[in-house]
Amino acid sequence: MDESGPGTRVLAEESLLGLLLPFWQLVIGVVVLVVLVLSVGRLARRGRSRMTTALLVTAAAIAGFAVIGVLLEG
């Protein structure tokens, strides 16, 4: 039995994508980390008042995303 039909090619493409997927996740993670570090540095130079506001906005965004995630899960 030779399994060299159209289905075999799809499996090969999925396998290749499966190998590349962790690499792309790593690239995206590094880019997010760099942007985060740069923005925190810029925010810290702007002063204490802006840091407090930024922390409150960030906390609200995290809480909002968590609530949306819980609501959409059920």
| Per-residue pLDDT tens digits for 18-70 | 776 677 778 888 898 898 888 888 878 888 888 888 888 899 999 999 999 88
Q: In sequence order, which residues have a C-beta less than 8 Å from that of residue 54 and are 6 or more positions away?
A: 43
Q: In sequence order, which residues have a C-beta less than 8 Å from that of residue 32 and are 6 or more positions away?
A: none
Hey, where are the domains in the chain? 6-73
The CA-atom distances, in angstroms, between 62 and each of 40, 57, 65 are: 17, 9, 5
CA–CA dist 37, 49 (Å, integer): 19
Q: Model pTM?
A: 0.48
Outline where the chain has alpha helix (H). 6-46, 48-73
